[in-house]
Amino acid sequence: MVVGKPLFTVEQIQHRVREIADAISSDYEGKDILVVGILRGAFMFMSDLVRAIKVPVVIDFIIASSYVKTDSTGEIKIHYDIREDIADKDILLIEDIVDTGVTLNHLRERILARRPKSLKICALLDKKERRLVDVPLDYVGFDIPDEFVVGYGLDYDNNFRNLPYIAIFKKTV
Ligand code: 5GP
């Protein structure tokens, strides 16, 4: 197993996180946000992001896993659901990486069914080439090519989440 050199360094990530937080603070001026992180991958991004957001936030989480049977069908299992009452709230959903879009699309529809005042989505990484379902992304950290990445919350078999940077991961044979 090989973790390559950083695709995005600590400095690049921190700089981009601050830019996104500034955009969010300005877009939500005068409002409160219910920030919902999708665990486990988004934990590090979310914790940096919310510390840089300047409007009041309430934090909640959702834990979901996808069981993709083919490239076009995915089944999503919810292990922990949002506890806050989301009706009439401004929700900001935080995802680590959008790949096919299946997971995020499912969660988006699930949240919209509970009638929030608004729902925006913030993803750290966007692997556009792999998209199967079109999901609207309001804030994106970085576009990336079709490579498997680890670090800054993202795992391979639950390892490497603690790396402070993002790197391409190659499985050696
Ligand atoms: P989607 O439903 O968009 O296909 O899948 C999104 C989920 O797949 C992400 O939340 C993440 O858990 C996982 N994923 C997709 N691409 C990568 C990747 O390059 N690295 C890691 N660590 N996880 C990925």
**Which pLDDT score is estimated for 107?**
97
**Which pLDDT score is estimated for 104?**
96
**Which pLDDT score is estimated for 74?**
65
Query: Which two tokens mark 143?
Result: 């576009």
Query: Which two tokens mark 67?
Result: 């069981």
Average pLDDT over residues 92-116: 96
CB 26 within 8 A of CB 54: no
Query: What's the mean pLDDT when you consider all of the chain?
Result: 93
CA 150 to ligand 1: nearest atom: 22
Confidence check: pLDDT of 173 > 70: no
Q: Are strands 74-80 and 57-68 parallel, antiparallel or unpaired?
A: antiparallel
Average pLDDT over residues 71-84: 81
Pocket probe mutation, ligand 1, options 93, 96, 109, 171, max atoms within 8 Å of Cβ: 96
**Which pLDDT score is estimated for 70?**
45
The label of the residue with tokens 């680590």 reads 96
Examine the residue annotation and report whether 146 is marked as an active-site residue of this protein. no
* Angle between helical axes of 43-52 and 10-27 (0-180°, round to 10): 50
Average pLDDT over residues 66-95: 83
Q: What letters, b where the CB count within 10 A reaches 16 and e where it falls short, cover 55-92?
A: bebeebbbebeeeeeeeeebebeeeeebeeebeebbbb
What confidence tier does 21 reach under pLDDT thresholds 50, 70, 90? very high
What confidence tier does 36 reach under pLDDT thresholds 50, 70, 90? very high
Which of 4, 19, 57 has the alpha carbon at shortest distance from 140? 19
Which of 18, 27, 7 has the alpha carbon at shortest distance from 120? 27
**Which pLDDT score is estimated for 50?**
98
Report pTM: 0.94
